[in-house]
Structure 1
Amino acid sequence: MKQNARTPRRKNQSSFIIGISLTILIAGIAKYLSLLPFFSIMGELVIAILIGVIWRSTIGLPKAFLSGTEFSSKKLLRVGIILLGFRLHLGDVSQVGPTVFLLASISLVFTLVVVFLLTRVFHVETRLGILTACGTAICGAAAVVAIAPQIKAKNEEIAIGAAIVAILGTMFTILYTVLFPFLGLSANGYGIFSGATLHELAHVVAAAAPGGDAAVDLAVVVKLTRVALLIPVALVIGFWYYLSQTEKQDKPSFRSLPIPWFIIGFLCTSALYSLGIIPNFIADTLVGLSYLFIGTAMAGLGLNIQLSSLKQFGLNPLAASFIGSILLSLVGYLLIHLFGLV
């Protein structure tokens, strides 16, 4: 009996390890391909996403492996972002200050309102509309998951909301890397633009990579500013949705919100690097390790995108988010020029 009980557990552990190993394999292939002339334009992180999406759509992915790929796309991503702080000197970005916060706030509020109104126009169910708007405006799937308990969203709605922002985030990441030479932005301007307008933190890092280290550093700072606004936005939306329910039994109960601790970790590693406590050779090694983790996260993100899942709720929420993402990019680009951050 004990042997039989251990067998499923061992299978689950093996599947978990295989899932993670698959993301590492894809990240390695992406790293190699990024050294080739044509693929070097996109960079290893974008390539990792594409390979993951293509793999899932063609070869397929056993359900048992999803625990491993999701671990890479969520947990390893956060570890990678924390370690990425060892390349960011806070003194280099302190001069941006309130301008970054203002730009990020305007972009967030604009997108939140516009995408939700678009979901109304496209007759998307209210809960899914809220999730789609929050995922597009704030920080992708993390925002979808954080907002879901506040509005009592169903599992299917959470899944489609996360899928939409993952798919669109991937599309716009690739588009940004292609358009980078034609945008007329400096490395700093492009980094701020990427951080203010893309969905997932991983997408931001991947898209900003062609602009160099300075672009990635500023992109992460701007994106983390948007992520930091998740908690107050979630509280406001939860309270609004609570008041909007006419039937008491339909009202959601308030639950504890997940605190994005990786933001604190990123700031701590940045502070250590800025204070000169960590030698440069160690910091460089940790940054290299961070890209390995982020690469596996990108692969996991691609592997978790199931294109067929869009059929369940139709293309309306995707259309609303797509239009909203275009408008977000345009507004972000205009704000970069308005604030003189070109």
Structure 2
Amino acid sequence: MLSLNKIRNYIPGIILSVLIMLISQLLSRIIPVIGSATIAILSGIILGNIFFHSNIWSKGTGFCEKTLLEISVVLLGFSITIQSIITFGLSGIFFILTLIIGTITVSMWLGRKLGFSKKSTVMMAVGNAICGSSAIASIAPIIDADNGEKGRIITLVNLLGTILMLGMPVLVVLLFKNNPLKQGAVIGGTIQSVGQVAGAGSILGVKILNIAMLFKIIRIMFLAFVVIFFSYFGTSNSTNEKKIVWQKIIPWYVIGFLLIGIINSYFPISKQIILNAHNFGTYLEITALAAIGLRLDISAFFKEGKKLALYGLGVGFSQIVLSFIFIKLFY
């Protein structure tokens, strides 16, 4: 149970995130070409780095970034059906699988070339290949990574994900202008965290957001296999499968998303319920994106050093190239 004093710690950050969401929604009506998601993210980054970088905001923005976003992902289940998932077929699964393998291979190879420890390269590989910080949190105890290594890689992966979140929508529109499936697949297959995928997808609209999130969910479900692999082929003799924290492997919101999708596929749900779920989920998502922007510390990128920045940019560039190759191959 949270005490009243602890709850109060969350209020400032939540209120700030909600205010940015509301302002973003209003501004998007004036300049609809940009969209509320883009406005919320950029506003959060600017305001967070100039005015709101005190710890007073961190509890609430952390709650919005994690919990509200996870709920919004579950509500996206009302927008999909089993039939829509089947339309992606084996091609979608193979696209994600090959992209995961390619990203892990390049990340570990480049990390070794730049002189990073094997533990750091494993965390970098898994974080970029699957789902950012969540994947790193799952793999870190398996390979006995210390908190310093873990913190640096999480910072780098989150910064890289933010760059891709803002840049990938432009790239996919230029390369796959009239193909929402390819646009959503590349966004869902490359960008690091669920929140960043939601941000990039929202910039391009609801249809592409739904496709991107489906591909992201497929990607997250491969985390179990990746963790099992590194539990046997980790970085030290002491690692073993007993260290796996299974409840972290498949997050609750992935299960919720799939369950609602199944219910939506086989049971009649009124259009009003689906519309309300969509609208509420959108408000939660934009609030979470505002919080993500508020929590992004741009100065952290410069503090990490040139070699780490080079590592991140190299991995990010390889993900983009691999995704474009594999999307051409499978679609």
User: So what's the TM-score if we normalise by structure 2?
Assistant: 0.90
Deviation string 1:79-137 (CA, Å, 9 cap, x unpaired) is 11000111113312312221111000000110011012212222223322222221111
Q: Kindly indicate whether the alpha-carbon contact (under 8 Å) linking 2:169 and 2:187 is maintained by their aligned counterparts in 1.
A: no
The answer as to 2:209 corresponding to 1:216 is: yes
Cα distance in 2 between the residues matched to 1:197 and 1:66: 27
Q: What residue in structure 2 maps to residue 126 of structure 1?
A: 118
SS in 1 for 2:30: coil
Amino acid at match of 2:202: A
Pick the aligned partner of 1:199 from 192, 198, 212. Answer: 192
Structure 1 residue 152: Cα displacement: 2.4
CA RMSD of aligned residues (A): 2.3
Q: What residue in structure 2 maps to residue 4 of structure 1?
A: none
Cα distance in 2 between the residues matched to 1:339 and 1:144: 28
Structure 1 residue 195: Cα displacement: 1.0
Q: What residue in structure 2 maps to residue 47 of structure 1?
A: 39
Cα distance in 1 between the residues matched to 2:64 and 2:145: 25
Q: What residue in structure 1 maps to residue 291 of structure 2?
A: 300
Pick the aligned partner of 1:60 from 38, 52, 61. Answer: 52
- Shift of the 255–312 alpha-carbon distance from structure 1 to 2, 3 Å rule, reads farther
Amino acid at match of 1:120: R
Structure 1 residue 11: Cα displacement: 4.3
Aligned pairs for 1:63-78 (under 5 A) are 63-78=55-70
Q: Kindly indicate whether the alpha-carbon contact (under 8 Å) linking 1:188 and 1:214 is maintained by their aligned counterparts in 2.
A: no
Cα distance in 1 between the residues matched to 2:50 and 2:37: 20
**Structure 1 stretches of 5 or more lacking a match?**
1-7
Structure 1 residue 269: Cα displacement: 1.2
Cα distance in 2 between the residues matched to 1:304 and 1:61: 8
Matched pairs, number: 327
Structure 1 residue 10: Cα displacement: 4.5
Q: What residue in structure 2 maps to residue 324 of structure 1?
A: 315
Q: What residue in structure 2 maps to residue 99 of structure 1?
A: 91
SS in 1 for 2:49: helix
Pick the aligned partner of 2:328 from 307, 316, 337. Answer: 337
Pick the aligned partner of 2:10 from 9, 12, 16. Answer: 16
Cα distance in 2 between the residues matched to 1:316 and 1:28: 40
SS in 1 for 2:176: coil
Cα distance in 2 between the residues matched to 1:154 and 1:303: 27
Q: What residue in structure 2 maps to residue 3 of structure 1?
A: none
The answer as to 2:15 corresponding to 1:26 is: no
SS in 2 for 1:34: helix
Amino acid at match of 1:275: Y
- Shift of the 252–56 alpha-carbon distance from structure 1 to 2, 3 Å rule, reads farther
Cα distance in 2 between the residues matched to 1:228 and 1:34: 34
Structure 1 residue 253: Cα displacement: 6.8
Amino acid at match of 1:154: D
Cα distance in 2 between the residues matched to 1:152 and 1:24: 38
Pick the aligned partner of 2:243 from 254, 273, 292. Answer: 254
Amino acid at match of 1:117: W
Q: Which is worse superposed, 72-81 or 156-165?
A: 156-165
Pick the aligned partner of 1:87 from 75, 79, 86. Answer: 79
Cα distance in 2 between the residues matched to 1:217 and 1:9: 37
Cα distance in 1 between the residues matched to 2:314 and 2:205: 29
Cα distance in 2 between the residues matched to 1:19 and 1:176: 28
**Structure 2 stretches of 5 or more lacking a match?**
none
Structure 1 residue 180: Cα displacement: 4.2
- Shift of the 211–65 alpha-carbon distance from structure 1 to 2, 3 Å rule, reads closer
Q: Kindly indicate whether the alpha-carbon contact (under 8 Å) linking 2:186 and 2:323 is maintained by their aligned counterparts in 1.
A: yes
Q: Which is worse superposed, 176-185 or 118-127?
A: 176-185
- Shift of the 252–295 alpha-carbon distance from structure 1 to 2, 3 Å rule, reads same
The answer as to 2:227 corresponding to 1:234 is: yes
User: So what's the TM-score if we normalise by structure 1?
Assistant: 0.87
- Shift of the 42–317 alpha-carbon distance from structure 1 to 2, 3 Å rule, reads farther
Amino acid at match of 2:194: L
- Shift of the 201–41 alpha-carbon distance from structure 1 to 2, 3 Å rule, reads farther
Aligned pairs for 1:123-202 (under 5 A) are 123-185=115-177, 186-202=179-195
SS in 1 for 2:226: helix
Q: Which is worse superposed, 272-281 or 216-225?
A: 272-281
Q: Kindly indicate whether the alpha-carbon contact (under 8 Å) linking 2:140 and 2:150 is maintained by their aligned counterparts in 1.
A: yes
Structure 1 residue 230: Cα displacement: 0.9
Q: Kindly indicate whether the alpha-carbon contact (under 8 Å) linking 1:187 and 1:211 is maintained by their aligned counterparts in 2.
A: no
Cα distance in 2 between the residues matched to 1:112 and 1:137: 6
Task: Give percent identity, aligned residues only.
Answer: 25
Structure 1 residue 252: Cα displacement: 9.9
- Shift of the 251–87 alpha-carbon distance from structure 1 to 2, 3 Å rule, reads closer
